[in-house]
Amino acid sequence: MKIALGALLFEGNTFSPVVTDRRDFASKYLFEGEAMLAGLAGSGTEIAGAAAAASATGADILPLIATHGGAGGRVAAACHAELKATLLHRLAAGGAVDGVCLALHGAFVAEGIDDVEGDLLAAVRGIAGRVPIVVSCDLHAHVTQDMLRLCDALIGYRTYPHDDAYETGERAMRLLLDIVAGRLHPIMRACRAPLLLPAQRQRTAGDGPMAGIVALARRLETGPVRAVSYFPVQPWMDFPAMGFTTVAVGETEAATAEAAERVTRAAWEARRAFQVAVHAPDAAIAAGLRQPGLAVLADAADCVGGGATGDSAGIAAWLRQHAPEAPAALHVVDAETVRQAQRHRPGARFRASLGNKLDPAYGTPVPLDVELVSLSDGRFRYAGGLMRGVEATTGPTAVLQSGALTIVAGSLSAYEYADEVFAANGVDVRTKKFVVVKNPMNYQPAYAGAAQYVLDTPGPTTPNLARLPWGRLDRPTYPIDPDCPPSFVRM
Ligand SMILES: [Zn+2]
Mean pLDDT in residue range 455-470: 91
Question: What pLDDT, in 10s, does the model give residues 437-447?
Answer: 999 989 999 99
Q: How far is the CA of 233 from the centre of ligand 1 (A)?
A: 8
Whole-number Å distance, alpha carbon 180 to ligand 1 midpoint, is 29
pLDDT, tens digit, 9 for 90 and up, residues 313-370: 999 999 999 999 999 999 999 999 999 999 999 999 999 999 999 888 889 999 999 9
Q: Homologous superfamily of 2-274 in CATH?
A: Response regulator (3.40.50.2300)
User: Positive or negative, the Cα torsion across 263, 268, 273, 277?
Assistant: positive
What pLDDT, on a 0 to 100 scale, did the predictor assign at position 173? 98
Average pLDDT value over all residues in the chain: 96
From the CA of 11, how far away is ligand 1's center (Å)? 8
Buried b (16+ CB within 10 A) or exposed e, 274-298: bbbebbebeebbeebeeeeebbbbb
- Tell me the CA–centroid distance for residue 163 and ligand 1, in Å: 10
In this predicted structure, the answer to whether residue 415 has a pLDDT above a threshold of 90 is no
Q: Using an 8 Å Cβ cutoff, are 20 and 243 in contact?
A: no
- What is the Å distance from ligand 1's center to 165 Cα? 10
Ligand 1 center–CA 231 separation, angstroms: 9
Burial of 334 (C-beta count, 10 Å sphere; 0-12/13-18/19+):
buried
Q: How far is the CA of 140 from the centre of ligand 1 (A)?
A: 4
Give 301's contacts (C-beta < 8 A, 6+ positions apart): 308, 312, 362, 455, 456, 457, 458, 459, 460, 461, 462, 463
CA 206 – ligand 1 centroid, Å: 18
Beta bridge partners of 481: none
Q: How far is the CA of 95 from the centre of ligand 1 (A)?
A: 33
* Residue 386, pLDDT above cutoff 90: no
CA of 111 to the centre of ligand 1 (A): 21
Q: Is the pLDDT of residue 18 over 90?
A: no
Report percent pLDDT > 70 for the chain: 100
186 burial class (0-12, 13-18, 19+ CB within 10 angstroms)? buried
Give residue 444 CA to ligand 1 midpoint distance, Å: 15
Q: What is the C-alpha R_g of the chain?
A: 22
Span from the CA of 162 to the centroid of ligand 1 (angstroms): 7
The answer to whether the Cα torsion of 441, 113, 156, 100 is positive or negative is negative
What confidence score (pLDDT) does residue 181 get? 97
Tell me what pLDDT residue 472 has. Answer: 98
Are 239 and 273 a contacting pair, CB within 8 Å? no
Ligand 1 centroid distance, CA of 308 (Å): 14
pLDDT band at 83 (very low <50, low <70, confident <90, very high): very high
Domain residue extents for the chain: 2-274, 281-462
